[in-house]
Structure 1
């Protein structure tokens, strides 16, 4: 059984979460905290496998409680907060910076998506239980810790890269997808790209509705390149990362513009990684680089299969640095990848690929 501590100041919400989590007999709720301070104390006392944490609580809020727990008793933490709270909150990304692995919006009791969201919450708990939580220094945010451990690398020309680029025409676009653990992974990659990175970047990140704008602003503040929420029809630009907005698939319209689509969800996801990879592959063929990051399940697999067929370059994050080795694992096990890299190497390889392909700016 997976032992979970619930931290939420609402008794009604705690009962609701207990009902959601214990369905299926995989999860046991071993404690309940009604404040951030109590969550810190119970984390030390009970040593749960996973903690679900509210954001808005009296006294010590969920962000500060997360930071203290990660500094003293590192534990996989998932932010699960009422939708109206997280949409009002300006601190959602601070929770990720403090060490939380994911942010999920708790649905209302009459939500038409209640069963699907409840299942996703359970699935997230089950998947993060194996995460090796790192002890963070008090006051040092997660991304700073990651970057301190992994300074920007320089990749020397090597045979593997030469073979990948042999006979290839000019690279035109990068597309990246991730799920659980993806925001921190994206922060690590984008913050290490040069300010004049010569290609546009499309990003599909599974994240609860209402958080995409915060994610884009957070990444934009961390990154030398521009990061923004994608808008339908806007032109693709170098040195710019475009993030799929809530409830829209992200793709390309011709070779020069963003496409947003309300086509049916793919395997339950909209935006879906597979839609993005497929759209880019059909337009840019072998002139695209596809990156698959940490995340649950196998979203992206069908799109990466198309990428492989048309000659796109496919990079997967390795198991050792993935929070959840699901999406990259599916790509690796199906023989789709050209490179399997630790997170801290991906930005350097993207930069080197563009340089060896003759795209560096003069």
Structure 2
């Protein structure tokens, strides 16, 4: 049974979330809190599997209480946020930065045509969060790990032309760590698929731009990719690229139940750039991108998978490693460091 605490300053909204989550036999809502202070008090005497967290609350808001929880008694936290409020979205991603594992738009009411979809997303998100691996954020540094290096097996000369990256649960913070590890003169275009709840892509890009040395954009149809720029797939479109470096956005069916999908992007880049592709698969549940990362490696490209210790959920990168699809297995900042080294060298 997944034990959940709901934190929200609105009693109506707390009861609504309780109603949705309690409809699933695997979830038990064991408490409610009207603000961050009450949540911290509840944690002193209860063991929890997941917390759903509002952002704007009196006395102590969602960002601050998330920070305190992750510094002292880490619990997987799902942020429930209003996408229409830019201030709230900004704090939502700051909460992700200090340890929240995922985010979701506040669900529509029972009478809404989106009710069933929103309810299913909330239940699925809580179940994903329940298996996430979280750790104290103090001291504030990237977890140390010794990179496991799997030497490239190809003997042919390779020059990397494009970097493609996929991530899901826990991905925003991992992507931020990766991008901040790159220099501002990094010469290659980077295309990113991040599984994210509807309405949050623009806020995600704005948040990345606050710390990234490279310019980050929401990708647009027909745009020509340029070195030193980062392109994030928009919501509800599959993102690909052709051999002229033109971004193609399509309403093709979901792959692995997601759209955009890393699998779609990786295969598109492989067709366009062949062994000039560098593929990166970061934390996330499921198998999206794993087979295609192996295809990139088999074609002579360079591939990276996030290591287990630094992943919130090791599903996607773990599957790629199991398939033998990763040349390098390491934390996001180390991936950035090795990638910078590789783009300046010739492989024999």
- What is the correspondence of 1:229-308 to structure 2 with a 5 Å cutoff? 229-308=218-297
Number of the residue aligned with 2:130: 129
Q: Which has the higher contact order (CA 8 A, sep 6+)?
A: 2
Distance 1:38 1:316 in 2: 39
What is the alpha-carbon root mean square deviation over aligned residues?
2.6
Q: 1:196 to 1:333 in 2, by over 3 A?
A: same
1:218 aligned residue (207, 226, 229): 207
- What is the correspondence of 1:103-182 to structure 2 with a 5 Å cutoff? 103-109=103-109, 110-137=111-138, 145-147=140-142, 161=151, 163-164=152-153, 166-182=155-171
For the residue of structure 2 that corresponds to 1:356, the secondary structure is coil
Distance 1:176 1:240 in 2: 13
How many residue pairs get matched?
346
Distance 2:141 2:251 in 1: 35
1:164: how far off?
4.7
Number of the residue aligned with 2:72: 72
Number of the residue aligned with 1:94: 94
Contact 1:189-1:347 at 8 Å conserved across structures: yes
1:124: how far off?
2.9
Question: Which 4+ runs in 1 deviate beyond 6 A?
Answer: none
- 1:316-348 per-position Cα deviation (integer Å, ceiling 9, x unaligned): 111111101111122122232222223332111
Which deviates more from structure 2 when the two are superposed, residues 199-208 or residues 35-44? 35-44
For the residue of structure 2 that corresponds to 1:285, the secondary structure is helix
Structure 1 gaps, min length 5: none
Distance 1:336 1:166 in 2: 17
The question of 1:197 aligning with 2:186 is answered: yes
Distance 1:46 1:159 in 2: 42
Q: Give TM-score scaled by structure 1 length.
A: 0.86
1:96: how far off?
1.1
Contact 1:235-1:257 at 8 Å conserved across structures: yes
1:105: how far off?
1.1
Q: 1:160 to 1:357 in 2, by over 3 A?
A: farther
The question of 1:25 aligning with 2:31 is answered: no
Distance 2:330 2:163 in 1: 16
Q: 1:331 to 1:113 in 2, by over 3 A?
A: farther
Distance 1:324 1:261 in 2: 28
Q: Give TM-score scaled by structure 2 length.
A: 0.90
Contact 2:24-2:123 at 8 Å conserved across structures: no
Contact 2:184-2:213 at 8 Å conserved across structures: yes
Which deviates more from structure 2 when the two are superposed, residues 79-88 or residues 216-225? 79-88
For the residue of structure 2 that corresponds to 1:91, the secondary structure is helix
For the residue of structure 2 that corresponds to 1:115, the secondary structure is helix
Q: 1:211 to 1:11 in 2, by over 3 A?
A: same
1:116: how far off?
4.1
Q: 1:120 to 1:237 in 2, by over 3 A?
A: same
Q: 1:24 to 1:96 in 2, by over 3 A?
A: same
